[in-house]
Amino acid sequence: MKPSHSNPSFFSVISRIFIALAIIFLIHFATSTFAESELEERLYELGYPTEGFIVYNDTMRFSDGHIVKIEGSYLETYPITAKEALNRLYNYLADYNKKLEQYDMRIEPKIESMDEKEENGKLYWVFELYIKKGSSEIFAGLAHVERKEGLIKIKGLLD
């Protein structure tokens, strides 16, 4: 006597595939927007508006992190946004991370450490860098992303 196997209906197969794809999409969406929301939160903590712009001490601060300094009738634009600075930094660190891959290590900026700094008349986005291996991390230095042209300089272990 053979055991009877019921074939699943077409509807149940399609619904299971749909549920699996929906779960995968939601996980991807949640992880991809996490860094952006963390960046937006940090910008808010630094005094940037959540939308539009504000004027404070002769400086227009836009929600994406770029600024315009007002000096009389002269406007000086610093177009590098916080997100663009972070992307440029990730691209800069890609070569280092490729070399560290064989040791199962990577260098990453800590988004919540993002700050602003003026040095020698130039404005910078500043990020703390950490070397990560598994769940442990070691402070590696500071990354400065120039806000006018996007040039990067590292102070610390990567000097």
The answer to whether 138 and 130 are in contact (CB under 8 A) is yes
**Burial (0-12, 13-18, 19+ Cβ within 10 Å), 121:** exposed
CA distances from 10 to 14, 35, 114, 141 (A): 6, 39, 52, 57
Does 53 have pLDDT greater than 80?
yes
What are the phi and psi torsion angles at 4 (to 5°)?
-90, 130
Q: For 130-137, what is the mean pLDDT?
A: 92
1-19: pLDDT as tens digits: 565 567 778 888 888 888 8
Q: The pTM is what?
A: 0.74
Q: So what's the pLDDT on residue 14?
A: 86
60-119: pLDDT as tens digits: 999 999 999 998 889 999 999 999 999 999 999 999 999 999 999 999 999 999 999 999
Does 121 have pLDDT greater than 80?
yes
Q: For 125-135, what is the mean pLDDT?
A: 94
Q: So what's the pLDDT on residue 30?
A: 59
Residues near 116 by beta carbon (within 8 Å), at least 6 away in sequence: 46, 123, 124, 125, 126
Q: For 35-44, what is the mean pLDDT?
A: 85
Q: For the chain, what are the domain ranges?
A: 80-159
More confident call, 22 vs 51: 51
Half-sphere exposure of 145 (CA within 13 A, CB side): 28
Half-sphere exposure of 9 (CA within 13 A, CB side): 3
The C-alpha atoms of residue 67 and residue 124 are separated, in whole angstroms, by 11
